[in-house]
Amino acid sequence: MKKSDVDYTLYLCTDRDLMRADTVEDAVRQALLGGVTMVQLREKNCSAKEFFETAQRVKKITDQAGVPLIINDRVDIALAVDADGVHVGQSDIPAAEARRLLGPDKIIGVSARTVEQARKAETDGADYLGVGAMFVTGTKQDAKVTSKEELKRIRAAVAIPIVAIGGIKADNVEELKETGIDGVAVVSAVIAAENIASAAEELAGCVKELKEA
């Protein structure tokens, strides 16, 4: 997958604890049917071995769908399964180190809440930013909410794609119009939905509208 081909429109982050599907693989398969354009595997509460094995299995599914697989935090697991990239937060392995380990062709995403973090991430070699939390979320109750104004300032400060994250659902995504985002990242709005495929389809439609507006 060439980096320039990456479509950030609907970026799914997995969460084993929130999902109704039997396995992460099932959830991802259904989400891809609904039109998810990118998948991040996030496994905070399992062993590194289980994370690695799940990543191996999910990689086959995302490859078949032609959708990039991003690994949260663990650069070694990304390397081991030849994932398309990693996503690092401000407390994870530094983006510059991730770039050194992964080389120029892999996708590196960085979580940023401020213009300063956004600029540093871009300098350190990030390919995209995850900005948020945009809304109060069930997943991270204590996450600070990023204002729409800060999102716009970040958009103006960097050239790389921006994915908004945090509490985004079909009924609030329109609040993000005119912010210049390239896509939205969702966890519970898709992964915890009764019908994952239709939840993804609805959201993908909303985000496309937003981007065209």
Query: What residues are labeled active site?
Result: 42, 111, 140
101 interface partner picked from Ni ion, a copy of itself, none, CB below 5 to 8 A per type: a copy of itself
Cis peptide before 133 (omega within 30 of 0): yes
72 marked ligand binding residue: yes
Token pair, residue 191, equals 């992964």
Nearer to a copy of itself, 2 or 49 (CB): 49
Nearer to Ni ion, 70 or 134 (CB): 134
3-state SS of the chain: helix, strand, coil percent to 5?
A: 40, 15, 40
Among 2, 22, 47, 159, contact with a copy of itself (rule: CB under 8 A)? 47
- Closest approach, Cβ 55 to a copy of itself, in A, equals 10
**In degrees, to the nearest 5, what angle opens at C-alpha 94 toward C-alphas 91 and 99?**
145
Check residue 84 for interaction with a copy of itself (CB under 8 A).
Answer: no
Give how many residues touch a copy of itself by CB under 8 A.
21
Per-residue contact flags (x/-) with Ni ion for residues 6 to 45, judged by CB under 5 A: ----------------------------------------
Check residue 206 for interaction with Ni ion (CB under 5 A).
Answer: yes
Token pair, residue 153, equals 């300032």
Check residue 2 for interaction with a copy of itself (CB under 8 A).
Answer: no
Restricted to residues 144-173, the positions that interact with a copy of itself (CB under 8 A) are none
- Closest approach, Cβ 207 to Ni ion, in A, equals 9
Q: Bin 197: left if φ > 0, else alpha if -120 < ψ < 50, else beta.
A: alpha
The answer to whether the Cα torsion of 117, 120, 121, 127 is positive or negative is positive
Check residue 105 for interaction with a copy of itself (CB under 8 A).
Answer: no
Distances (CA, A) of 87 to 15, 21, 30, 75, 83: 15, 24, 22, 9, 11
